[in-house]
Amino acid sequence: MFENYKAYPSIIAMVNDMLKGHEGAAEYTFDRIGDRPVGQIKKYAVYKPIQLGNTFWSIVVASAEQDVLSGLISFRNRLILIVGIIFLFGIVFSLLGARAWLIVKEEGKRKQAEEKIKEAKEEWERTFDSIVDPLMILDTNYRIVKANKAMAEALGKTPEETVGLTCYEHVHGMNNPKPECPHKKLLADGKPHMTEIYEDLLGGWFLVSVSPLHDSRGNLTGSVHYARNITELKQAEEEIRKREDEMKQAQEVAHIGSWHLDVPGNELKWSDEVYRIFGIPFNMPLTYEAFLDRVHPEDRAYVNSCWKAALARQPYDIEHRIMVEGEVKWVHEKADLVFSQEGEPLSGVGIVQDISERKKAEDELKKYREHLEGLVKERTAELEAKITEIQRLNKLFIGRELDMIEIKKRIKELEKQTGSSSKD
């Protein structure tokens, strides 16, 4: 063999490796078989030793290059087919896996959504029951669909026991809805309504509001009925109303009114008594200019200058005349103004007092004083005249008295002289 294939070293090398008991693979070429030329042939061989007792044999499987290439191509094709089939199965399984993953994911989302819905429902229930004012949901037949704890407690029941009760029977104790019932109005026009109702069964005044409820098709299914207890508010309003009435009466008796001026907006608001003082119809829109028109023409410039001074932070405390239906009245005004941080006037609040009676009394007192002063002057002049006359008469009397003394003295002297002559 070595002699026959000595011209083919690749074969010799493979044989030597086989004789050593090795296994492996090799390729070799040859161009003749024996003495017969066959052309250039290339083969691939795989060899493996087999132990038989104390000896071994090498088995060789050799294939021509063309056969190997054909086998490889066939294997490649089969491999491509297998890979394609595996790829298709992979796609199918991937799609199935993705579908399964999506199903699992959607199931997880569904469970999360259900959990969120459950949490939202519980949160809604807690919120619904935490509202301290009576709250309920009514259907179109005035039946209670759901009521919170406050509503149920007002009816002396549990929330579950209120379901199905007719509101006008159990809340108002009536056989039919009240004419002013807001739920009745909502059922008629489908709009929200609000009204104040005094309810004996609930023990006070309530501000009742209703909002419509609709199904997915937009059909009216009922309303959310909310009743806010405003008993304390109504009592406070009544107290305020009484105080306002008392204030109006006090202002009317004292002839004192109040006013407020929005300086930037030039909006003037008067109390009822100020309207009465100025003789202007109640609630007539007013401005500073409208007020100034009522001031007596001779006092208008003075009042305007005082007000401008007040806008510059000067005190505003004045008395002036006004014209009311041709009649002159006197008023006393005093005001305080509010300024911004920049020093701009924002608003003014003040009082107006009708002092016409006081001014009239002052005028009468002045006239009476002047009259008294005139009388005093007259009496003083008369007295001074009388004193002058008395003094003149007194002087005259004193002079005459001196003359009489002198006469009497002369008479005595004459008598003495006459007596002496008779004796002689």
Concatenated DSSP letters for 190-208? ---EEEEEEETTTTEEEEE
Per-residue pLDDT at 249 exceeds 80: no
Q: Report the range of poorest mean pLDDT among 241-250, 374-383, 394-403.
A: 394-403
Who has greater pLDDT, 330 or 243?
A: 330
Q: Which of 75, 49, 78, 55 is nearest to 63 (CA)?
A: 75
Residues recorded for the chain:
424
Task: Give the whole-number percent of the chain exceeding pLDDT 70.
Answer: 75
Residue-wise pLDDT tens digits, 157-215: 999 999 999 988 888 888 999 888 999 999 999 999 998 888 877 778 888 999 999 99
Q: What is the mean pLDDT of the chain?
A: 79
Q: Which of 105, 191, 177, 116 is nearest to 142 (CA)?
A: 177
CA distance 203 to 192: 25
DSSP annotation of 122: H
Q: Which helix (H) or strand (E) holds 19?
A: helix 9-19
For 298-327, give the DSSP string: HHHHHHHHHHHHHHTT--EEEEEEEEETTE
Residue-wise pLDDT tens digits, 344-355: 999 999 989 888
* Architecture per CATH, 127-229: 2-Layer Sandwich (3.30)
Burial level of 274, CB count in 10 A (0-12/13-18/19+)? buried
Per-residue pLDDT at 251 exceeds 60: no
Residue 227 CB contacts under 8 Å (≥ 6 apart), including other chains: 133, 134, 135, 151, 197, 202, 206, 207, 208
How confident is the model over 291-308, as a mean pLDDT? 93
Residue with tokens 């009311």: 324
**pLDDT on residue 422:** 46
Per-residue pLDDT at 392 exceeds 70: no
**pLDDT on residue 328:** 92
Per-residue pLDDT at 318 exceeds 50: yes
CA distances (Å), origin 244, targets 72, 192, 348: 112, 33, 21
CA distances (Å), origin 115, targets 100, 126, 201: 22, 16, 41
- Which tokens go with 249? 């009466």
Per-residue pLDDT at 20 exceeds 80: no
CA distance 177 to 166: 10
How confident is the model over 344-368, as a mean pLDDT? 87
CA torsion angle for 34, 36, 38, 44 (degrees, to 10)?
-10
**pLDDT on residue 380:** 77
Per-residue pLDDT at 219 exceeds 80: yes
Contact 330, 358 (CB under 8 A): yes
Spans of all domains in the chain? 1-114, 127-229, 237-354
pTM tops 0.75:
no
The residues with which 226 forms a beta bridge, in sequence order, are 135, 209
Residue-wise pLDDT tens digits, 78-90: 767 776 777 776 6
As a CATH number, domain 237-354 is 3.30.450.20
Residue-wise pLDDT tens digits, 40-49: 777 767 777 7
Residue 336 CB contacts under 8 Å (≥ 6 apart), including other chains: 316, 348, 349, 350
Contact 227, 211 (CB under 8 A): no
Domain 127-229 shares a fold with domain 237-354: yes
Who has greater pLDDT, 100 or 164?
A: 164
pLDDT band, very low/low/confident/very high, at 339 (cuts 50, 70, 90): very high
